[in-house]
Amino acid sequence: MKKVLITGAAGFIGHHLAKLLQANGYKVTGIDNLNDYYDVNLKLARLKDMKIDTSHIPYNNRLKGDIDFYKLDITDRQNMETLFEKEKFDYIVHLAAQAGVRYSLKNPYAYTETNVSGFLNILEMARKHKPEHLIFASSSSVYGLNKKVPFKTSHHTDHPVSLYAATKKANEMMAHSYAHLYGIPTTGLRFFTVYGPYGRPDMALHLFTEAILQDRELEVFNYGNMSRDFTYIDDITESMRRLIPLAPEAGNPGFDPENPNPAISSAPYRLFNIGNNQPVALLDFIKAIEKATGKKAKIKLKEMQAGDVESTYADVQDLFDYTGFKPQTPLDEGVKKFVEKYLELNKI
C-alpha cells in the first residue's frame, strides 16, 4: 500500500482528494493547521466526512479515521521533520497554502510565510526523504496580465497582478530549482476556479448562493464582464489521482535550452493546467445558481477589483495527452451538487 501525504487535508481540494485516494487503496495521511482564514466549522465538517473525531484535536497528535490526520503547520520545521522520519511517504501532494487573491491585499505577510517559507519546508523534506513524486498546487492566477487565450503552460507568466499569484509563481520556480539540483520528480498543477460540495466560503459560488438564498444583493465586479473556467472538484481530484504515479523523468527530449518551454525541463519537472476548457460568463454562472436554488438573484454591478483578471481559459491538451483524462463535468450539474450540499450543511 503506497503512502501519500496530503498537506491542507481539511481544505476543499485536500478533503476530496484524500477521500478519493483512500478509496483507491492508498494509505493517506493528512495535515492541516486549521487556521481561521474562513469558518473553521467547514474544515471540521470535512474532517467529520472522513470519519475523524473533531471533538478534540490536539496539535501534532495522530487522529484516526478514513485517513490519519495531524493538526500540524507546514512552517513547523521540527515537527514536519519528525513526521517525515516516522512515516516515509511514497508521495507528497502539497495543497496547503494561504489562499485568496483579495485577502493578499490586506495581509501580505500570511502569503510569504505559508506559501513561500512553508513550501520551502516541503521541498526540504522532499530533498531529505526522496519521495517517488512531489505534486504541488499552483494556480491559474499566475497568468496575470497575459490575455492570449486559451492559457497554455508554454506561455510565460512573468506579470502577476496579485501577491497571491506571485507566491504561486515563486512556488513553480522553487520547485524547478529543487528538481534540477536534487532530482526530485515534481509536478505543478495550475488549478482553474475549482468549485463543488464543501467549497470555500470566500469563493463566488458560495457567496452568490448565500446571497440569493438570503435575498441579499450580490456584488458582481467589472459590471459582469468577466468569465471563468469553472472546474468541478471531482475533475480536479481525478486528474490528480492519475498523475500521482506518473512521475516525470529527467532529460525530457522536448526541452530546448535555447528556446525553453516553461512547462517542461531537462530536470524531472512538469506543469499542467487543470481546467474545464470551457470559460463561462459570470452572469451565466449566476443563472446556473438561480436554476439550482429556484430563486432570482439581486445583482449589484461594481467596478473591477484590484488584483483580479477579466477571464481565465485553460488549454488542457497536455493533461489529456499525459493522462487520458480532462475535466468535463457540466456546469449545471456541478452547481446543483454544490447547492444540495450547501443546504445540507446549513440545515436549510
> From the CB of residue 296, how many other CB atoms can be counted at a distance below 10 Å?
11
In a domain, 154, yes or no: yes
Q: What is the pLDDT of residues 79-93, one digit of tens each?
A: 999 999 999 999 999
Q: How many domains does the chain have?
A: 1
- Please give the positions annotated as active site: 164
In a domain, 307, yes or no: no
pLDDT value, residue 148: 93
The domain that contains 86 carries what CATH number? 3.40.50.720
In a domain, 203, yes or no: no
Q: Which residues pair with residue 220 across a beta bridge? A: 301
pLDDT value, residue 105: 87
215: Cα within 13 Å, side-chain hemisphere: 0
In a domain, 114, yes or no: yes
pLDDT value, residue 100: 86
pLDDT value, residue 267: 98
pLDDT value, residue 154: 95
**How far, in Å, CA of 136 to CA of 171, rounded?**
8
pTM of the full structure: 0.95
pLDDT value, residue 223: 84
In a domain, 206, yes or no: no
pLDDT value, residue 304: 83
Which residues in 45-63 are b (16+ Cβ under 10 Å) and which e?
A: bbbebbebebeebeeeeeb
In a domain, 62, yes or no: yes
Q: Which residues pair with residue 165 across a beta bridge? A: none
With 0-12 CB in 10 A as exposed, 13-18 as middle and 19+ as buried, what is 158?
exposed
pLDDT value, residue 322: 96
In a domain, 208, yes or no: no
Distance, first Cα to last Cα, the chain: 41
Domain around 16 = 3-192+233-274+314-327
**How far, in Å, CA of 80 to CA of 75, rounded?**
8
**How far, in Å, CA of 12 to CA of 63, rounded?**
19
Q: How many residues does the chain have?
A: 348
Please say whether the beta carbons of 141 and 165 come within 8 A.
yes
Q: Cell 506518473: give the residue.
A: 246
Low-confidence ranges of the chain (pLDDT < 70): none
In a domain, 340, yes or no: no
